Amino acid sequence: MATKKIKKVETPIDQRETFVSLQKSFADSEISVEEKLKTLYALQEADSAIDKIVQLRGELPAEVETLENELADLKARLAQGTAVIDAYNQTIAEKKAHGDDANFG
């Protein structure tokens, strides 16, 4: 009885790899079942870590957007207030310039 040897195929992983092709490559490799299980366990741990990060992130993007909008509104109010103050200062300067002729008491 002849034993058929499976030739290990080394393929670099790139953006065009699909899960199915990676799975087939992994299944056809000469890696022992123990190593495959260890690799699968490591992948599951990484997936769980990603899930925890996504869960911790939660509504953070929405909160950041809300704070950015609030900051933009506050900056707009500040600009309006600064414009009003500048207008008052200009009026005061004009009144002082014309007030030299007036008798203030």
Distances (CA, A) of 18 to 6, 44, 49: 22, 18, 22
Among the listed residues 18, 26, 20, the one whose alpha carbon sits nearest the alpha carbon of residue 10 = 26
**Cα(2)–Cα(101) distance, integer angstroms:** 119
Q: What is the DSSP letter of 8?
A: P
Q: What is the DSSP letter of 4?
A: P
State pTM to two decimals: 0.44
* Residue 30: per-residue pLDDT: 76
What is the full per-residue pLDDT of the chain (105 aa) written as tens digits? Answer: 455 555 554 555 555 666 666 666 666 677 788 888 888 898 899 999 999 888 888 888 888 999 999 999 999 999 999 999 999 999 999 988 887 655 554
